[in-house]
Structure 1
Amino acid sequence: MTDSYRLYRLLTGVFIGLFTLSAAWGQSVRGHITDATTGADLPGVAILVQGTTTGAITDASGQYVLTTEPGSYTLQISFVGYTTQRQPVQVTAGSATTLDVRLIESLASLNEVVVIGSRSTQARSSTQTVAPVDVIQSRDLLATGRIDITQQLNFVAPSFNSSRQTVSDGTDHVDPATLRGLGPDQVLVLLNGKRQHNQALINLNGTIGRGSVGTDLNAIPSTAIERVEVLRDGASSQYGSDAIAGVINLRLKEQPGTTVNAQLGQQYKGDGQIAQIGINHGFKLGQKGVLSLTGELRHRGATNRAGDYTGPVYVNWNVGQQTGETAASYVARRQQLYQQDQALIQQNNFDRRNNLQVGQARVENAGFFLNARMPITGTNASVYATGGLNYRRGLAGGFYRYPYQTTQVISALYPNGFLPNIQSTINDQSLLVGVNGENNGWRWDISNVYGGNSFRFDVINSNNASLAYLGATNNPTSFYAGTLSFYQNTADASAAKDFGKQLGLTSFNVAGGLTYRNDQYRIKPGEAASYLNFSPQTGQTGGAQVFPGYQPANAVNATRHVYGAYVDLESDITQRLLVDVAGRYEYYTDFGGNLAGKLAARYRFSEAFSLRGSVSNGFRAPSLHQRYFSAISTVFVSTGTGLEPRQTGTFRNDSPIAQAFGVPSLGAERSTNFSIGITSRPLSNVSLTVDAYQINIQNRIIYSNQFSRGTTGAGLIVATILNNAGQTDVNSAQFFTNAVNTQTRGLDVVIATNPRLSTGTLDITLAANVNQTKLVGDIQRPANIPADATFGNFLFNRQDSARLTLAQPRSKIQLTFNYRLRKFGAVLRLSRFGTVASYDPANPALDETQSPRIVTDLSGSYRVLKNVTITIGANNLLDVYPDPLRVTNYPTPERYGSAALDNSSFGRFVYGRAATQFGFNGGYYFANLSAAF
């Protein structure tokens, strides 16, 4: 019985239990919320019972149902672009109360009630909080015309960055996501306010976030999301040690009604077809309970933007000059080899273009989520549950193996070479069960969440070259290469109470809690043919080409326990001054303990201007993946004479090989965060927030570069260490270590307005992030490797440095116009992505810089029926691409006879893949159908 099936059975049991529970529920407040000027229905309006956490959201027709006990309440009604209203209401027993509200337009954003970043019951908008928070509603995500959450956030939150990767093994199937220019493992993801588990995959290839472990956001169906809150501030003391850059909190839908969203589209080039359908249905359990169910199917077709390959295919003419060979003889020999190769290419009709897939991988995705809440009869408590299953299957290509690469290709199987493919199977599951309530003013919450992620590797259309002696008939061409998995169980207990009235203050909220977490990381080896070398004496390469399987020596089943306690104090000390103080202690059984703290404040000079700031420290313990991952893989390395495949071993930090290199034990990353900002309302219909920040991180964990064997100097030391460990087939060694210190400085700006129009409504939002990361201090090198190590033996070379400091856009500016006129709507978004750069490991002449680009998205919608809307649009309307790699890096036939080795990718990569701004798929057009009932 698989883990996914066990969780499915458990979720089914939860469903049955939810449906069979019944009790005498409290009373309800119902109503209809509309635009005061046009009378249009307003979906997504937040209704909150002031002083509590009870609330509701209007559905697509502007209707809401709020369940509560009899009594007198004040409802706070807020919606982006409209003035927040506070309405008194009297709820009597035995009858339903009706409260209809007409909202008046005000600001285009920044007015929505924020939950993340505070444990107080005081309702605050993002302009009233002590730290900057973006509140992104589901309608904003839908308006991007994109179907998965990482790409949706990439085009609505400037501080968030995520670009699809290509030819990067498992990372082709999981988009790395970052905040404020830091790493994927330095942002904490919450689901309904509870910690979401990490992915099983560790990013090992030359991508953003290399060596890090993030959270697979795309495992959560976007159809299930009500809104996203992005806390852009260090929050280790509030939510956990890995919240160095901030927190992303995904709130799931929790209201009656049905929403359907379906999309069809494709790239301008005719590939990358998209088909998606998501259905969410929420219905009441009794009078106050609710159960929300979501199912979503996504298909994403592959794209290919590879150029024409101009390098050697059958005969390797890109060879070096032999000892004693004259320059003239060398040129003549190369030219002869080149002519032989060209003749064979023509004879075999070899396709120079379709021998590499440079673009997004093909992905099929199916997700199912539930979100439920039920009051417990006769108490002030509720039971809640959130659960999800997600299945993804992907297919991505590696580097083509050409016939001249005889140590990698079995010619009897593939006389013209082959393009090996990695087939991924990703399973993600989670289940949260909790109970919360209020007694004597104390709000309490007890919960447990279990989640896990597994990543299975299969290699197809490949070979194990060491099995060449089997010929074409009996040779396997597909291999099971192993499975990675990560499971996490988190238990939390918290309590909070506001002592403001007792102290004569508007608020004085005291919150505290305890947490326990268990992490488990596993590596299961692949089949023998995926990793063994069956004939080492022949010089053939063993293992499946593109991705050699995990070996029994790599197998691991590691666990650790984490204990934590926190306290959080928040008070409106005066009508103008709001202060928040937080502290958290965490103890890791495999690492040790740490204390993190935060002090934040906001001072309101007037209704039009406030000043806010914070100072905090944090730490991030090494992940289990970074501590225990090991593997032997084929890595294509730029050597200054082309891309060379190397058998590279990643060895555990505590392994004898790493110790022989002089690599110290992994320690924690430690950070200090500083932030200062303003919130202002210079005009009645203009709102502004500006926040500057500095994040210092010491002892950042990096995935080292290749330490390659050689015959002299440092290379000889490497060879000796590898040979003594029995790794005679391994060319290079890599490991995880604390090596660098960084400083990140940045500025976030959000300006929102809605100018008065004679017809319709117009919301305008300008949001921007500017950041710069730089290395500080010396690189901490292994003790037993000389500091003057030759090329290939650097711990952290100039390519690694650029990936950390230059590979993400230095700025992102987004200007959005959202116009509505009765049944018609239009959205225009201009996104400017700043400069990115990638460096060659050794040759500065091969460095690449991509200049800023503006991507234009345009869509128009029409409500054909009361509850049905059709949207037609185009993302990247003008078909903008990044700067191509410089033409001087592409050889021409005339250069093949020169005396210089060619060090390019031979035209296969038209656009850089090491640093990307927004990808290179080009324009995309789509049709979207949405309905709400």
Structure 2
Amino acid sequence: MWLLAGAAVLAQSVRGRVTDVTTGANLPGVSIVVVGTTTGTTTNGQGEYTLRLDPGSYTLRVSFIGYQTETVPVQVTAGTTATVNVSLRESLASLNEVVVVGSRSTQSRTSTETVAPVDVIQSRDLQATGQVDLTQQINFVAPSFNSSRQTIADGTDHIDPATIRGLGPDQVLVLLNGKRRHNQALININGTIGRGSVGTDLNAIPATAIERIEVLRDGAASQYGSDAIAGVINLRLKERPGTTVNAQLGQQYAGDGRVAQVGVNHGFKIGNEGFLSLTGEFRHRGATNRVGDYTGPVYVNWNVGRATGETDAAYVARRRTLYDQDQALIRQNNFNLSNNMQIGNSQVDNIGFFLNSRIPISAKAGFYASGGINYRKGKAAGFYRYPFQTAQVIAPLYPNGFLPNIESTINDQSLLVGVNGESNGWRWDISNVFGGNSFRFDVTNSNNASQFAQGASAQTSFYAGTLSFYQNTADASVAKDFGSQIGLKSFNVAFGATYRYDMYRIKAGEEASYRNFAPDAIPSRIGGSQVFPGYQPANAVNANRNVAGAYVDIETDINENLLLNTAGRYENYSDFGGNFAGKLAARYKFTDAFSVRGTISNGFRAPSLHQRHFSAVSTVFVSTGQSVEPRQTGTFRNDSPIAQAFGVPSLTAERSVNYSVGITSRPVSNMSITIDAYQIDIRDRIIYSNQFSRGTSGAGLIVANILNGAGQQDVNAAQFFSNAVNTRTRGIDVVIATSPRLNRGTLDLTLAANVNETRIVGAIQRPTNLPSDAVFGNFLFNRQDSARLTSAQPRSKISLNMNYRLNKFGAVLRFTRFGEVLTLDPANPLLDERFSPKLVTDFNVSYRILPTVNLTLGANNILDVYPDKLSKNLYPTPERFGAAVLDNSSFGRFVYSRAATQFGFNGGYYFLNVSASF
């Protein structure tokens, strides 16, 4: 709505203030444009603006992200000045927002008008979640997006894997201001969601710097290149002038996991059209711990196997004797069985700075830049090393065992620079973005057991090496709409070229972090730092590759009803060859209230440099179906002689075919409905194999001979990356949003849901030189690996969000239902687990205590809901010493599953948030 000093404004100078119609708050950064001209301005930090115009009749268009656009007629005459105050109303749950991702057309389209589904998430929606990490904020506002924090997973404890539509973290492409964002340095090789994949570290971007997020839920490799199989996440940085401050304090109901966060963004105007936006943010997240009581051996290992020829009675008696000895030592040393591990969130301190800028260099061209740096320190624990584990513990140094820590140092940086403009109707853009991520491992409170001769003076802290990944991407593009020339509403043609240079490095750790100083010791001792053996000189790598690509994209409104889009892209990789991707999409509008849309495309994901060149030796805890035991496991490069001896072929690209069909509807003016069904077929998915273990016969003997021949006598098992499986994912996305008009307040209602199912189709491709082995099984891809791809993420997520505002008061109530998840044991079906759906409730209330300051008090998971507990805790007790050992919780320490997590297991969290805009 708008308010004028009369029926028309007679002025040579026009000035005024723009406010929120509901709260009355000033709105900085609002765009005021004189329709039909290049004249315009934006409001300052107090929501004020000034325009100087020649005499004449004009129309002002007042627009702001998240609000309905208003137009104001103005008659300008000489010698007068008048005030035009404008009040804007928030738009319908962001569904009326013009989107950028997914189209290169000059035509403005909202998310209900695009050929593919796009979620638009505003910064206020992110803040309303009460979360501080960007991945968790998106997790609670975008049902197709999933991200859960991991535990006891080495480096993955410090970087949250994030997925779309139940696929892998490396099958979603992240853009920042429309440009490709670099991947993280860490490759997920533990038993977590996204095992074997390389994602993008979203938490390296301050949430305070984000204006909005666009989530394209469709295959887009033909438009944006490799990785965009499941979709694209485009992060748009803030541009508005003024200052915003956001601060939060909170903690879990259990009393741990304390959070402190403060973010500041300040925007400067540069001339009439330019801006500079600066952001700084600090986040502290304390560790959480939901460990259970330990029931296993501590000082004496009573969990032993039956001796040859031993009778049942003798076996039970021997185990009971050992158990009694262990219990006596536990009491004597006052060993704490209730709190000897840390199972939960890692501790993280995160500080980041970002900038976003645009400076006009002519009437039709401008220079732009964005980028930032992020520094993160993390600390997470591994498995406790108990005194009876003499191969891993130096007794004089740690007589009661020890809990080792992995301390991470993560550095992330990026810089985008570019120029764009318009010449003779051609829009052009030239840019270059450089980015990098490094992950340093330090191990503390540990030992190298092969240094046992040093006793209590043995080393306890180790530098274990550094991973790093850097990427430089240059691109140039042009586009022009020929619609008026050929008699169509629009006929936009865009084409461009890109050149990318990728670099991946592994730096070895210090010698003591990986070396076995006593390989012939009796009893045997494991070399290297416990919890995370350092990268060895043989693992060090400095790899790179070049990627050249070109694309063409055509989008046309054939008439008022039919919209067509087609795109094609070819990319050539210096390390494995080329790939072509194409897309055809259409939308038909039957009426203003109902449209049908659909797409068909093929896509690809190139193997990452990490997957091609990563290698390491690590201690992996493996379920044997009877117990959880540590193994020294080697990951060998895909092109290594060992991989070739196993018959593992060279990596090639994953290839996909995407189908989607959907409807969009506006049955009434204040309601939007989108329903989209999809199928994604992926062949040659790259997986991280399970362990090929040593043995004395069959495949096990082949493994032993290969490892011994390569000088890997200390390695118990081998792993590789391989194109091994094909999958089919089917699902449906539903978003229903409405803003019923109330007498005094404003209520936004959004119901959103994603339901999906992934199945493995076809045969699993085994290494050609290993026979099928009934004893050792299919270690390339076992039952546990299959479940991790198909059922470890919720197959459904449904959220109902209610946001009410009345004058200075506001309230948000959110219900999120996380669907069922399932885990399969690699060897024993009796240890399979099924975890039922759970409903998580978030609630907060806010009050604007000053015109520029808002106070929010709330709780996430207000009812303190936890996932189902593990049920297969059949570990031995004195009453069951004759029974088989069935332990899915590692002798009671794991109360909740770490292999499949719906929303974490930290319980309720309450917080106080203060935000201000100046």
TM-score category (smaller protein)? over 0.9
Q: What SS does the corresponding residue of 2:520 show, helix, strand or coil? A: helix
RMSD: 2.5
Residue by residue over 1:530-552, the C-alpha shift from the partner in whole angstroms, topping out at 9 and shown as x without a partner, is 00000011110000000000000
Q: Distance in 2 between matches of 1:46 and 1:125?
A: 18
* Map of 1:246 onto structure 2: 231
Kindly tell me: are residues 633 and 89 of structure 1, through their superposed partners in 2, closer, same or farther at Cα, counting changes over 3 Å? Answer: farther
Where 1:627 maps in the other structure, the secondary structure is: helix
Q: 1:883 to 1:78 in 2, by over 3 A?
A: same
* Distance of 1:541 and 1:56 partners within structure 2: 68
Residue 340 of structure 2: aligned partner: 355
Larger deviation, residues 738-747 vs 898-907: 898-907
SS class of match (2:535) = coil
Q: Is the 8 A contact 1:612 1:677 kept in 2?
A: yes
Greater mean deviation of Cα atoms: 784-793 or 137-146: 784-793
Residue 5 of structure 2 aligns with which residue? none
The amino acid that maps onto 1:196 is: R
What does residue 144 of structure 1 align with?
Answer: 129
Residue 463 of structure 2: which of 462, 470, 480 is its match? Answer: 480
Residue 401 (structure 1) aligns with: 385
1:440 corresponds to = 424
Q: Counterparts of 2:323 and 2:651 in 1: how far apart (Å)? A: 49
Q: CA contact under 8 A between 2:22 and 2:746: conserved in structure 1?
A: no
* CA gap 1:305/1:792 in 2 versus in 1, 3 angstroms: farther
8 Å CA contact 2:16, 2:84 repeated in 1: yes
Q: How far apart are 1:73 and its partner, in Å?
A: 7.4
Aligned to 2:892: 907
Structure 1 residue aligned with 2:869: 884
Letter in 1 for 2:709: N
Greater shift, 107-116 or 795-804, is seen at 107-116
Please list, as runs of the form range in 1=range in 2, the aligned pairs for 1:28-47 lying within 5 A after superposition. Answer: 32-34=17-19
Shift of 1:101: 3.6
1:666-745 equivalences under 5 Å are 666-745=651-730
Q: What is the distance in 2 between the residues matched to 1:247 and 1:86?
A: 33
- State the shift of 1:122 in Å: 1.3
Whether 1:427 aligns to 2:445 is no
Equivalent positions of 1:112-511 (< 5 A) are 112-376=97-361, 378-473=362-457, 475-511=458-494
Q: Determine if contact 1:61/1:867 at 8 Å carries over to the other structure.
A: no
**In the superposition, relative to structure 1, how do residues 590 and 67 fare at CA in structure 2: closer, same or farther (>3 Å)?**
farther
User: Contact 1:319/1:901 (CA < 8 Å) preserved in 2?
Assistant: no
8 Å CA contact retained: 1:50, 1:123:
no
Partners in 2 of 1:155 and 1:61 — Cα distance?
32
Higher deviation after alignment, 177-186 or 93-102: 93-102
Cα deviation code 1:99-137 (max 9, x no counterpart): 644445773341111111111121111001111000000
CA contact (8 A) 1:91 1:97 kept: no
**Map of 2:579 onto structure 1:** 594
TM-score (norm: length of structure 1): 0.93
Please give the alpha-carbon distance, in whole angstroms, between the structure 1 residues aligned to 2:692 and 2:377: 34
Structure 2 Cα separation of the partners of residues 364 and 393 of structure 1: 5
* Aligned-pair CA distance for 1:241: 1.7
Change (3 A) 1:318 1:518: same
Partner of 2:505: 522
Any conservation in 2 of the 1:708–1:793 contact (CA below 8 Å)? no
Q: Any idea what the Cα deviations from partners look like across 1:307-336, whole Å, max 9, x if unmatched?
A: 000100000111111100000000000011
1:741-820 superposed matches below 5 A: 741-791=726-776, 794-820=779-805
Distance in 1, Cα, partners of 2:301 & 2:187: 35
Using the TM superposition, name which of 39-48 and 114-123 deviates more.
39-48
Q: State the identity %.
A: 74
Looking at structure 2, the residues matched to 495 and 90 of structure 1 have their Cα atoms a distance apart, in angstroms, of 38
Query: Matched residue of 2:827: which SS?
Result: coil
User: Aligned in 2, Cα 1:620/1:472: closer, same or farther, shift over 3 Å?
Assistant: same
Q: Which amino acid aligns with 1:337?
A: L
Instruction: Give the aligned residue type for 2:462.
Output: F
Asked if structure 2 preserves the Cα contact closer than 8 Å seen for 1:858 and 1:874, the reply is: yes
**Contact 1:78–1:112 under 8 Å retained in 2:** no
Corresponding residue for residue 75 of structure 1: 61
Q: Which residue of 2 is the match for residue 11 of structure 1?
A: none
Q: 1:873 to 1:782 in 2, by over 3 A?
A: same
Q: Deviations over 1:614-673 (max 9, x none)?
A: 000011110000000000000000011211100000000111111111111111100000
Does the aligned pair in 2 maintain the 1:259–1:281 contact within 8 Å? yes
Q: Call closer, same or farther: CA 1:674–1:93 in 2, change over 3 Å.
A: farther
- Equivalent-residue separation in structure 2 for 1:35 and 1:364 (angstroms): 36
Shift of 1:286: 3.1
Which secondary structure state, in structure 2, belongs to the residue aligned with residue 537 of structure 1? coil
Distance 1:913 1:144, change over 3 A: same
- Residue 686 of structure 1 and its aligned partner are, at CA, apart by 1.7
Rounded to whole Å, the distance in 1 between the matches of 2:227 and 2:50 is 37
1:835 CA drift (Å): 0.5
Partner in structure 2 of residue 536 of structure 1: 519
Separation (CA, whole Å) in 2 of partners of 1:872 and 1:560: 50
Pairing partner for 1:110 from 71, 76, 95: 95
Native 8 Å contact 2:626 2:884 kept in 1: no
Question: Distance between the aligned counterparts of 1:265 and 1:514, measured in 2?
Answer: 47
Deviation at residue 280 of structure 1 after TM alignment: 0.5
> Offset at 1:756?
2.8
5+ residue gaps, structure 2, are 1-11
User: Following TM superposition, by how much is the alpha carbon of 1:38 offset from its aligned partner in structure 2, in angstroms?
Assistant: 6.9
Q: Secondary structure at the match of 2:323?
A: helix
Q: Cα gap change, 1:654/1:128 in structure 2, threshold over 3 Å: closer, same or farther?
A: same
Letter in structure 2 aligned against 1:617 = N
Task: For residue 51 of structure 1, report the CA deviation from its aligned partner.
Answer: 9.9
What is the CA-CA distance between 1:380 and the residue it aligns to? Answer: 1.4
2:544 pairs with 1:559: yes
**Ranges in structure 1 where 5+ consecutive residues have no aligned partner:** 1-26
Kept in 1, the 8 Å contact 2:686–2:723? The answer is yes
Q: In structure 1, what is the equivalent of residue 3 of structure 2? A: none
CA distance in 2, matches of 1:810, 1:67: 57
1:388 shift after superposition: 0.4
